[in-house]
């Protein structure tokens, strides 16, 4: 296994994924992903940056996952928790993202952000260095309860959404259609790039013998 290649692939995926998150947050009046609703809500109500709350909540989920089923927690899980929060804050701080204009362009940028998140998420997961904190948490619950991962995801994200909504998070139309756009792109990217990573590993193994 070529760790340098896999980690480079992972970090690039995280950078792309974080850009998608930041882009959707700038268009948050249209509604954002349930987990980001929670991050934005805490940021607005308590203080600290959106990225800081991403790191804090990811840390809590990692602790819970270690209790539930630590098999999904690897070095990449900790790196994901830290890097996504840092890159989201960096993008928002740099001021390079388009501003909301309450026009058709906002919808375009929102959809673009969701597509980028799906691609980036599939990419960093395909690197095979560890599940994201949220994925590891939900997989751990599924294993412990025997409930399907799909049902666990729906229940977990619904609870997160309600909490975010109650504390003033940005919930609107795209919050509810987010998964229908992101998930297929994530799955396709994860499968295709996963095969690409395995092929690269195989070729490097062949060359080394």
- Condensed to tens digits (0 to 9), the pLDDT of residues 104-153 reads 999 999 999 999 999 999 999 889 898 889 988 888 888 888 888 778 88
| Nearest Cα to Cα of residue 43 among 31, 62, 57 | 57
Q: Which residues contact 134 (CB under 8 A, 6 or more apart)?
A: 35, 58, 61
Residue 208 has pLDDT above 80, yes or no: no
pLDDT band at 207 (very low <50, low <70, confident <90, very high): very low
Looking at the predicted structure, is the pLDDT value of residue 194 above 80? yes
Torsion over CA: 147, 133, 73, 204 (sign) = positive
**Contact, 2 vs 201, CB < 8 A?**
yes
pLDDT score recorded for residue 104: 95
Model confidence at 103: pLDDT above 50:
yes
Question: Is the pLDDT higher at 204 or at 76?
Answer: 76
pLDDT value of residue 201: 64
Please tell me the least confidently modeled range out of 33-37, 77-81, 134-138: 134-138
pLDDT in tens, 144-171: 888 887 788 888 888 999 999 999 999 9
Judged against a pLDDT cut of 90, whether residue 179 lies above it is answered with no
Check residues 134 and 201 and name the one with the higher pLDDT.
134
Handedness of CA 169, 93, 112, 52 (dihedral sign): negative
Burial of residue 56 (CB within 10 Å: 0-12, 13-18, 19+) is middle
**In Å, how far from its chain's centre is CA 94?**
20
CA atoms within 13 A on the CB side of 184: 4
Could you report the per-residue pLDDT of 3-29, keeping only the tens digit for each?
888 999 999 999 999 999 999 999 999
Structure confidence at residue 77 (pLDDT): 95
- pLDDT at position 196 over 50: yes
Average pLDDT (55-74) is 91
CA 30 – CA 135 distance, rounded (Å): 25
Comparison of pLDDT for 86 and 70, the residue scoring more:
86
Q: Is the pLDDT of residue 1 over 80?
A: no
């Amino acid at each position: 296994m070529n760790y340098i290649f896999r980690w480079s692939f992972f970090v690039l995926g995280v950078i792309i994924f974080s850009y998608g998150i930041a882009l959707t947050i700038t268009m948050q009046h249209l509604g954002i992903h349930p987990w980001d609703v929670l991050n934005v809500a805490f940021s607005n109500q308590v203080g600290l940056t959106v990225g800081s709350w991403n790191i804090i909540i990811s840390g809590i989920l990692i602790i819970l996952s270690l209790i539930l089923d630590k098999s999904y927690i690897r070095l990449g899980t900790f790196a994901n928790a830290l890097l996504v929060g840092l890159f989201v804050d960096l993008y928002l701080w740099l001021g390079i993202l388009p501003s909301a204009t309450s026009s058709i362009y906002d919808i375009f940028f929102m959809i673009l952000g969701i597509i980028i998140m799906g691609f980036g998420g599939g990419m960093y997961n395909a690197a095979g260095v560890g599940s994201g904190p949220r994925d590891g948490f939900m997989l751990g619950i599924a294993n412990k309860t025997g409930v399907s991962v799909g049902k666990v995801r729906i229940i977990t994200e619904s609870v997160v959404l309600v909490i975010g909504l109650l504390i003033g998070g940005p919930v609107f139309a795209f919050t509810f259609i987010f998964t229908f756009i992101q998930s297929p792109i994530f799955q396709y990217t994860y499968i295709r790039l996963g095969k690409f990573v395995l092929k690269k590993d195989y070729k490097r193994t062949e060359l080394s013998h």
